[in-house]
Amino acid sequence: MNTKILLSNITHQRFIPFKHKLKYNVPSLFLNLSELRSITKNNKLFSLNSFNLFSFYESDHGYRDNRSIEKFIMDNLNKFKIKYKKLCECTLFLNSGGVTSKTFYIPMNFFFLKLLIYLDKFLSFLFPKIFSLAYKIVLIKN
């Protein structure tokens, strides 16, 4: 079962006009749509299209009528085809530097950065479930 409740940390930081930092936890629900109906049968706290502690209403997403969210996603995915799909970002993500120059980063020369890019691609290719943090995907409309 791939459906999970995730707890993420959100951080906002401001330097101008005054220094301010805000950090808080945000729960997120990662739903595997093919498991959606079985989750409601196996879990007393989660419901599909009905009131509960955790509820997912299909009418709040997608077509916003009685059609399923899975149908909405499949209908829209069929409008596109994948032109490019690549696993990426293992070590490079850790050294992205952020938006402001006050964010911590490790300065590197060009040779070492190229070496790190190849290492990143190698680890993401060999062990995608451990090292890949993202996909690069390019879609084109049919």
Contacts 24+ apart (CB under 8 A), 74-79: 78/142, 79/141, 79/142
Note down the domain range covering 8. 1-72
Which amino acid belongs to residue 105?
Answer: Y
Same domain, 65 and 84: no
The pLDDT tens digits for 2-27 are 777 777 777 777 777 778 888 888 88
Please state whether the peptide bond connecting residue 17 to the residue before it is cis, i.e. omega within 30 degrees of 0: yes
Same domain, 66 and 84: no
Same domain, 99 and 84: yes
Rg, Å, the chain Cα set? 20
Task: Return the number of other C-beta atoms located less than 10 Å from residue 121's C-beta.
Answer: 16
Domain count, the chain: 2
The pLDDT tens digits for 56-104 are 888 888 888 888 888 888 888 888 888 888 776 655 544 444 444 455 5
The model scores a pTM over 0.75: no
The residues that bridge with 11 in the sheet, in sequence order, are: 23
Look at the block and give the residue holding tokens 């970002």: 89
Same domain, 67 and 83: no
Look at the block and give the residue holding tokens 């906002």: 12
